[in-house]
Amino acid sequence: MLRLAASAASSRASTGAAVSSSLANAAHPAHTSISYGTSSSLRPRTLCPPNQLASTASFKLTGCQVKSMAEALSTSKLDSESSLAGKRQALFSLSDKRNLALLGNGLQELGYVIVSTGGTASALESAGVSVTKVEELTRFPEMLDGRVKTLHPNVHGGILARRDKEHHMEALDKHGIGTFDVVVVNLYPFYDTVTTSSGISFEHGIENIDIGGPAMIRAAAKNHKDVLVVVDSEDYPALLEYLRGGQDDQQFRRRLAWKAFQHVASYDSAVSEWLWKQTGGDKFPPSLTVPLSLKSSLRYGENPHQKAAFYIDKSLSEVNAGGIATSIQHHGKEMSYNNYLDADAAWNCVCEFTKPTCVIVKHTNPCGVASRDDIIEAYRLSVKADPVSAFGGIVAFNVEVDEALAKDIREFRSPTDGETRMFYEIVVAPKYSKKGLEVLRGKSKTLRILEASKNNKGKLSLRQVGGGWLAQEADDLTPENIQFNVVSEKAPDEKELHDAQFAWLCAKHVKSNAIVIAKNNCMLGMGSGQPNRLESLRIAMRKAGDEVKGAALASDAFFPFAWNDAVEEACQNGIGVIAEPGGSIRDADAIDCCNKYGVSLVFTNVRHFRH
């Protein structure tokens, strides 16, 4: 879990990857994931001391009525605590009741007395497990619509007492409290409840915040030397195996405790995120927690000597929000660190376009982009823009890959020699026809085929720096959101303006300093990542070749110089229209230069730096 915090007095940030995993993998720190409760049943678990409730006039039940109910429960099992003294006890309280019968019967066979809250008790009894209900231990009824249930010394004393502290055990004996050796608890499905597509009221969200459950989990995890705490049904078999073996493995107990605290931490992060949104507060809260769930361990990072893993962001804001992280892989080798970066860049770029479009990316930079009504033509034009770079790249489409397109991807030869079949690392698209998928699978055993959903707009972008994190809004602007203001004497015609908008949208996804040359909805050349804009221009011009005549040029930022620099070179080589943000102290030079050569110049007033 990534945590970012800041105060009004000073800007502070703290980070920590904290994620929970199935214990089969927990011994290795890279094998980690977050577990959320998924059941829809609601079972609050808090209980206040009887003497407080009896003296509180605001409750509908009078003190005498509460006392009477408690005495009735006490009379039915007057010696409940003493009858359990010396016996091993397991405490159950679950929203997610998967595999409950397996664990309940397994523990009962091992001689454990099962103590449980209401809904879980009913499920256990239905599975043939004998159950002692928690109110028989507390001698107090569930009340306040289930809010008051388990915060009671008879419960928490039995969890928190240290067996190696004589005075702890004497205190339990004095009050007739038995110990709990196993605590099995998971939490209300808050995450699923507040992310439902139908929406919920604020009051309903509040009622789904678990109180008693986290308290029991934290208590058991703190006292893990004596209490085994389980929050994930996937761990039931491992727990039973551990108990049957009569082991005393403290590392096993610590891993369970770690997972328990992570379960609560990720749950609290969802509650915190939801509540902050309810306050109508700023997009950048004073403290920020990002829950991360391990999707896969990777072979290595950017380079073979670097270990790596891939995590999914489990923030509420990312639910059904699309993106490469939640894509489905239909075929091919496992994804690598660099594969994820490149696929993300290609997918984010292609999703910007409304017409059928193909984008080819190499090292996160689009080296080929084309939009056409005929997607096969768009694909071929994208390859043609830079076939050398396209080889071994990532191909992305914003339309379905059908059989005809798949065959072209499989068979198309490189324009450099007309013989070499194009090779790709990844193909990513919003969907595939059955035949299209079948054909693509036949191209290569290693070709990774991804099906992804479009990224939602308005996401928060996070990036790590040494000792901290940068947060910003995503760069979601498109040509439809801005004005292309003509500042030159010559105004671009409709076609030239459209070319300028296309080039501008491409430049948004190219690493700075970025120059893109485009014509007829097709990228002709781009220059990226150069320390100065003039070199980026020259690279783009070289790739565009003779097609540069009458084409549009887009720059991600303003030109600091015009004469004997990038603007004049572009004009001299036949560029028809230039789109740039403007804002330089030498903007007048750029305008004068374009006027001299009869080139249209438009200012967007929007910069697109990409580092």
Catalytic residue list: 222, 363
Q: Which two tokens stand for residue 358?
A: 């193909």
Pairwise CA distance, residues 586 & 581, whole Å: 13
Evaluate whether 586 touches 558 at the Cβ level (below 8 Å).
Answer: no
Which amino acid is residue 329, in one-letter code?
A: Q
Residues 6+ apart with CB under 8 A from 518: 369, 499, 502, 503, 506, 524, 551, 552, 554
Q: Please, how many CA atoms are within 13 Å of residue 88, restricted to the half-sphere of its CB?
A: 13
Residue whose entry in the numeric block shows the structure tokens 């080139």: 599
- The amino acid at residue 549 is K
Identify whether the C-beta of residue 462 lies closer than 8 Å to the C-beta of residue 340: no
Give the HSE-up count for residue 306: Cα atoms under 13 Å, Cβ half-sphere. 8
| CA angle (143, 145, 149) in 5-degree steps | 45
**Which tokens sit at 428?**
């990513």
Per DSSP bridges, beta strands 365-371 and 393-397 are: unpaired
Interhelix angle 250-278/212-222, nearest 10 degrees: 150
| H/E run at residue 594 | helix 587-597
Question: Residue 258 contacts by C-beta under 8 Å, 6 or more apart in sequence?
Answer: 20, 26, 221
CA distance 42 to 193: 10
CA 418 to mean position of chain CA atoms:
42
Q: What are the CA-CA distances from residue 259 to residues 49, 232, 512 (Å)?
A: 30, 9, 42
